[in-house]
Amino acid sequence: MSEVWRLQTKTEVSEKNKLEDKVAKELIKRKMVAIGWTLREDIYNELTMSEKNKLEKNEKLIKNNFKEYKKIIEQETYETIKGEKKKFFNGKINNSLNNLKKLKENDLVWIRSKGKYYLGRITEKSHYLYAYRDSKKDSDILKLGINNQFTDVEWLEIGDESDIPGSISTSFIGGTALRRIKQKGSLEISQILYNRHIKKDHYPINKIENNIENFYSLLSPTGCEDLLYFFFYHKFKYIAIPSTNKTNTQTYEFVMLSPKNRKKKIYIQAKNGNSEKVDLYLDDYLDLNGKVYLLTTGGKIYESKEKKEKKKALKIEFKNNSFMKKIGSTNTNKKIYAVNPEAIYEFAKRAYKDETILMPHSILQWFEYLK
């Protein structure tokens, strides 16, 4: 069965050499997936000259043989100038390297560079290659940190974040250099996008089931913010103050004003995903002087960060699928509401069919892939 992966292209080596923006370009040009951990880094500069010569001879044996590379890392011991006995990378194969070796035909790999997302398919010709050789052709391999390679990859430019499922864009947050994307629907939507861009049904797949979990997995974090905004605009005609939509306002996404009273402020927070990173805490909003609406599609809401380990999350029940429920108050007695993810999902479905509801294509497009 095919799998979908994501690769971080800003390696430590490329950042050190100030070449991080060139890695993705080189991967696409050379048609490969690649990561670092070359044997010319780590303890290499600590070795005696005879040990360096020994290593370079062993290095030539690796080439298309990952087992030889693994053997050098896990079993071979080298003597340093100080007379110490050491192993490369403390004798352990990095998880990303193990994942690189797991790639197989028809697996898909995402990379990101300068705001653009690219999707690569592992082909029948793809194979492992340790690509450090003393030649001009590979002179940038060390500087870029891409010597452990998987070759013959077909790359496609898919688009910017508005064209990419949320489960893909959020997979680039933290984690190892190369890892599998496990979130539900990620493989199917990646295959659909690949088919669409090559204009062939390379992957025989059906549309993804149209349910709340799959919808939010396709929606990006910014798309979730936009959806909540258009919901409030449609329901109350609230208008956002553009200057309040700044990345440094961590407790809320933006401030809105009521058309009935411009002095009344409404604070909006939206978190999309399925991890602790999308949990919300009431004490973050107590100092705000206006109504507060909190939406988390897969997280929980707690009274405070300090009480999180001692107290369970708030139990929030939305009667008759109402779109909100009061869960607290600010220090100035302004109400704090939890927003119902199910109600917002139903609103998006309605907007997809009803063109009189104002909604951007970046949100509605995902219903084209849902059945």
- pLDDT higher than threshold 70 for residue 307: no
- Mind spelling out the 3-state secondary structure of 158-220? EECHHHCCHHHHHHHCCCCCEEECCCCCHHHHHHHHHHHHHCCCCCCCCCECCCHHHHHHHCC
Task: Provide the β-strand partners of residue 282.
Answer: none
Q: Give residue limits of the domains in the chain.
A: 4-37+94-198, 217-361
User: pLDDT at position 256, please?
Assistant: 93
What is the model's pLDDT at position 173?
86
Domain 4-37+94-198 has CATH 3.10.590: yes
What is the rounded average pLDDT of the residues 307-317? 76
Question: Model confidence over 20-69: pLDDT tens digits?
Answer: 788 999 999 999 999 989 888 899 999 999 999 988 888 888 888 999 99
> Each residue of 122-158: pLDDT tens digit?
999 999 999 876 555 556 787 888 999 999 999 999 9
Residue-level pLDDT at 134: 58
Residue-level pLDDT at 143: 83
In angstroms, the CA 161 to CA 168 distance is 9
Give the percent of the chain with pLDDT over 90. 68
Q: What is the model's pLDDT at position 208?
A: 87
Can you state the angle between helices 49-62 and 66-74, rounded to 10 degrees?
150
Whole-angstrom Cα distance, residue 343 to residue 318? 9
Give residue-wise pLDDT tens across range 325-341: 999 999 999 999 999 99
Please give the average per-residue pLDDT across 108-118, as a whole number.
95
pLDDT tens across 61-103, in order? Answer: 888 899 999 999 999 999 999 999 999 999 999 899 999 999 9
| Arithmetic mean of pLDDT over the chain | 90
d(Cα 10, Cα 182) in Å, to the nearest integer? 22
Displacement of CA 368 from its chain's centroid (Å): 22
User: Among all chains, which residue has been given the structure tokens 């029940």?
Assistant: 317
**Model confidence pTM above 0.85:** yes
Amino acid letter, residue 100: L
Mean pLDDT across 273-297: 91
Q: Residue 139 CB: number of other CB atoms within 10 A?
A: 10
DSSP state of 8: -
Please say whether the beta carbons of 150 and 103 come within 8 A. yes
What is the reported pLDDT for 227?
96
> What integer pLDDT is reported at residue 214 of this predicted model?
92
Looking at residue 119, what is its pLDDT? 98
CB 134 within 8 A of CB 32: no
